[in-house]
Copies of this chain bind each other. A is one copy, B any other.
Amino acid sequence: MTDQVKYVLDEKDIPETWYNVIADLPEPPHGVLHPATGKPITPDDLATIFPPALIEQEVSDQREIEIPGPVRELYRQWRPSPLFRARRWEKALNTPARIYYKYEGVSPAGSHKPNTAIPQAYYNKTAGIKKLATETGAGQWGSSLAIACSAFDLECLVFMVKVSSEQKPYRKALMQSFGAEVVPSPSARTQSGRDILAKDPDCTGSLGIAISEAVEVAAASADTNYALGSVLNHVCLHQTVIGLECMKQFEMAGDSPDVICACTGGGSNFAGMAFPYLGRNLRGESNTRVVAVEPAACPTLTKGAFAYDYGDTAHLTPMVKMHTLGSSFIPPGFHSGGLRYHGMGPLVSQLLDLQAFEATSVHQLEIFESGVEFAKAELILPAPEANHAVAAARREAIRCREEGVGQTILFNLCGHGHFDMQAYTDYFAGKLKDYEYPAEEIAMALSGLPSVG
């Protein structure tokens, strides 16, 4: 072991393939069902909104999938991302644990999202598509796709949850800087949007509604496709560059993680970090503990049902078997926009159902307290989403102190907080409250689940 602070790989160490966890599952993935018929979906059904290469990746059981040259070329702009040893935070925590974090905030959007935005834009470009439509909540995904579309000269249309577009004008400006059109959702541009507005003209929107609008636009036009920033198998696949790089970086460090923490919204940053390690566990080559951390105010993995559900509010997306709080669920306006989603990536859900990892939830006061403590030691102010992973790593470090064991903790610092200063301002002003989602409200939202599968 060296005394290095950061482990930096060479450009040539960017993985040449993504890792597909489907290859190592002990059972096949659960099928995807057509939203209208409830019957298994065919690749043709998806072809109206996705390019062939991504549909193929969505169902592939090949363990390694090649990263195309032009994608690796763009990855080089910020990848390999650094792995840091949190030596100063360890001291501040007075823990015998060794804490490492993978820092994805070095990307041009400040988060892990460009890892999948770039290949999605690439595959659509090569399929002759002219425009991508998508949704965004906090704006991380929208700005990542805007950047990727700019790199491949595609038009980009972003339906931004209305309350976010009003609260986060700067995220909107970042998307516009890269040429994207940003439309507050619900909008009059789509039938889904008009239906919602007819019922509630003041509706502030939700990710589920914005997805409906983007899917509708993509389905209606032959040269427009849809791009999703989380949940789907191909999105999780693209994010695995995170965990794959970590493995090489731990070799440099002469260490290996005993426990890995990552936050979950739709599951893609968790999958990116954890799937390569879970795959190793599934193949019997290791026994690394993995912890998913979600907000107590949106407790999909810890309090949701594992059932078939829609990805959106208007039920235009296929149904997948996942941990869900029900597609009618509108989470409270807590300060981690990227984690306010009713569902979860189906592969993440299936792996939890198989008890391949643990899930836990944290309240927002704890995550901000953890994030500020981390920042004072490590100098990086994390995004509120990333603070969930910080809080979980801190719990593990304190456990190590109490148990007197020197374990190695790894967490995914999936983004910086430079676009989230309002959240920190509210935190320092004492305006944030913890919010426990009432069991009866969850039960009610779950009672509306489709009866299929």
Q: Which residues of A contact B (CB under 8 A)?
A: 4-6, 8, 10-11, 73-74, 76-77, 84, 88, 106, 108, 110, 114, 147, 150-151, 169-171, 173-174, 176-179, 372, 375-376, 378-381, 418-419, 421-422, 424-425, 428
| 16 pairs from A and B in contact (CB 8 Å cutoff) | A4-B11, A74-B379, A106-B106, A108-B380, A170-B418, A170-B421, A173-B421, A173-B425, A173-B428, A174-B421, A176-B428, A177-B381, A177-B421, A177-B428, A178-B376, A418-B418
CA distance A262 to B155 in the complex (A): 33
Q: In the complex this chain forms, how many copies of it are found? A: 2
Closest to A169 in B: B425
Main secondary structure of the interface of A (DSSP, over half): helix
Q: A77-B379, A151-B376, A169-B421 are in contact. List 13 more A-B contacts (CB 8 A).
A: A4-B11, A8-B11, A88-B151, A150-B375, A150-B376, A151-B379, A169-B425, A170-B425, A173-B422, A174-B381, A177-B421, A177-B428, A178-B375
User: Does A77 lie within 8 Å of B177, measured CB to CB?
Assistant: no
Residues of B within 8 A of A151 (CB): 88, 376, 379
CA distance A384 to B234 in the complex (A): 37
**One of B8, B174, B179, B380 near A376 (C-beta < 8 A):** B179
Residues of B within 8 A of A150 (CB): 375-376, 379
Residues of B within 8 A of A6 (CB): 11, 76-77
Residues of B within 8 A of A179 (CB): 376
Q: Which 7 A-B pairs have the closest CB atoms?
A: A170-B421, A108-B379, A173-B421, A5-B76, A173-B425, A418-B418, A150-B376
Residues of B within 8 A of A106 (CB): 106
CA distance A173 to B176 in the complex (A): 24
Given A8-B8, A378-B77, A379-B74, residue A424 in contact with residue B173 (CB < 8 A)? yes
